Amino acid sequence: MVQRTRADAEGDLTAELHARGLPQRPLVGESPAVDLLNTRWIGGGERYDLLEDEGLTAVWLGGWGLPVEAPPSEVQRHLRDARDALAAVIADPAARDGVNALLAHGRIRLSLDDGGPAEHHDVADPARRPAFACLREYLRLAASSPARVRKCGNPDCVLHFHDTSRTGERRWCSMAACGNRFKARRHRSRTASAGGAD
Ligand SMILES: [Zn+2]
């Protein structure tokens, strides 16, 4: 069997978005946790949310190897709850209750299988399994690099990223989309407050 890559999966999603006349996602995550946060975005002043479309949600989940084993509307609802809980704890690290309430719906069970060490998610409600898997991935990221999953520094942007830079000082979803725009705005306001002297 040919191994499908993340790029293949993202290509499927791009095709589905295109078929619906929707724009491409501006930022694609390297982890399902970050990618869950980026299932909503703003383009041309419009807000988009792929978790509002059952077909898009299924393609998105398939891309991360997360099957839909329950009514899609329930899976979507739990994913949206998980997204909100993650965004809240990233905005304020003390706001952990939402994430913990959702994690309480499952348990991690470890075993040694044919393929080596394995981790199983015991989640009684199948509709909650994809959301649980995304939250588990967030905990994995947070364990190895706390505070490196962040929201874009542009207050008008809803995207998040995992900062894998050496210095850990990344501020923007992308320099082109938000960094340069923000710097230009700051420069304009400085120039204006200096009375246009420079
Ligand atoms: Zn941004």
Give tens-digit pLDDT for 89-122.
999 999 999 999 999 999 999 999 999 999 999 9
Greatest alpha-carbon span in the chain: 72
Q: Would the pLDDT of 198 be above 50?
A: no
User: What proportion of the chain, given as a percentage, has pLDDT over 90?
Assistant: 75
Q: How far is the CA of 149 from the centre of ligand 1 (A)?
A: 13
Which residue matches tokens 């994995």? 140
What single string gives the DSSP state of each residue in 81-122?
A: HHHHHHHHHHH-TT--HHHHHHHTTEEEEEEEETTEEEEEEE
**pLDDT-wise least confident of 40-54, 94-108, 168-182, 184-198:** 184-198
Provide the b/e sequence for 88-108 (b: ≥16 CB within 10 Å).
Answer: bbbeeeeeeebbeebbebbee
Closest CA to 133 of 172, 169, 82: 82
pLDDT at 181 over 90: no
**Does residue 185 form part of some domain?**
no
**Rounded mean pLDDT, 14-43:** 92
Q: Does 180 reside within a domain?
A: no
pTM across the whole model = 0.89
User: In this structure, what are the phi and psi dihedrals at residue 56, rounded to the nearest 5 degrees?
Assistant: -65, -40
In Å, how far from its chain's centre is CA 177? 17
- 178 against 182, higher pLDDT: 178
CATH number where 85 lies: 1.10.3300
d(C-alpha 148, C-alpha 131), whole Å? 21
- Least Cα distance to 69 among 144, 142, 133, 8 occurs for 133
* Size of the chain, expressed as the number of residues it contains: 198
Q: Let me know if 130 is exposed, middle or buried by CB neighbors in 10 A (0-12, 13-18, 19+).
A: buried
Residue 181 CA to ligand 1 center (angstroms) comes to 10
**What pLDDT is attached to residue 167?**
94
Is the predicted pLDDT of residue 196 greater than 50, yes or no? no
Compute, in angstroms, the gap from residue 108 CA to the centroid of ligand 1.
Answer: 34
Report if residue 120 sits inside a domain: yes
Within a 10 A sphere around the Cβ of 111, how many other Cβ atoms? 9
- What is the arithmetic mean of pLDDT over 27-34? 89
Does some domain include residue 195? no
Query: Per the domain annotation, does 38 fall within a domain?
Result: yes
Would 179 be classed as within a structural domain?
no
Domain hosting 114: range is: 6-170
Amino acid letter for position 26: P
CA of residue 104 to ligand 1 center, whole Å:
32
Residue 197 has pLDDT above 60, yes or no: no
Q: What does the block give as tokens for 79?
A: 């994913």
Tally of domains within the chain: 1
All residues with CB under 5 Å from ion ligand 1: 152, 154, 157, 159, 173, 178
What is the residue type of 198? D
Q: What is the mean pLDDT of residues 78-87?
A: 98
160 located within any domain: yes
Kindly state the DSSP code that residue 173 receives in the 8-state scheme. S
Is position 175 within any domain?
no
The predicted-structure confidence for 159-171, as pLDDT tens digits, reads as follows 999 999 999 999 9
